Structure 1
Amino acid sequence: MASRSNRILVPEAREALNKFKLEAAQEVGTPLTNGYNGDLTSRQNGSVGGQMVKKIIQDYENNIK
């Protein structure tokens, strides 16, 4: 089985990724905060990740020529 890592490859991007995650959480109505979020359900966390992917794909589609 392949090893998985949530390590950020570009440490300078950490702040931008956190901002992006908080914006996505706000858009789907998930009460995400900086710090501990262990009280959120898997569904809530998944909706944030899904929104992030949706926005990345939308941005890519808007920028291809």
Structure 2
Amino acid sequence: MADNRNQLVVPQARAALEQLKFEVAQELGIAIPQDGYYGNMLTRDTGRIGGEITRRLVQMAEQQLAGRQ
């Protein structure tokens, strides 16, 4: 079976993205499993975390683009 995980364009960003995930989860009051297995988490919770991460990454990109003009 093929590994279909998303590959990072910038692999060095992995640690920063992991840190962002933990920060967002903490702010939302969602506990991240210590063992790294997300299968027992509610889909709603993982979606909230992912949605907030996406909002923040878009905001960062917009700020960078605005700074170039």
Map of 1:54 onto structure 2: 55
Q: Distance in 1 between matches of 2:62 and 2:8?
A: 24
Question: 1:59 Cα shift?
Answer: 3.5
RMSD: 2.0
Letter in 2 for 1:23: E
Distance 1:12 1:37, change over 3 A: same
Q: Which runs of 5 or more residues in structure 1 are unaligned?
A: none
Runs of 4+ in structure 1 deviating by more than 4 angstroms, as ranges, are: 60-63
Map of 1:24 onto structure 2: 24
Q: Looking at CA atoms only, which structure, 1 or 2, has the larger radius of gyration?
A: 2
Q: Distance in 2 between matches of 1:54 and 1:61?
A: 11
Map of 1:12 onto structure 2: 12
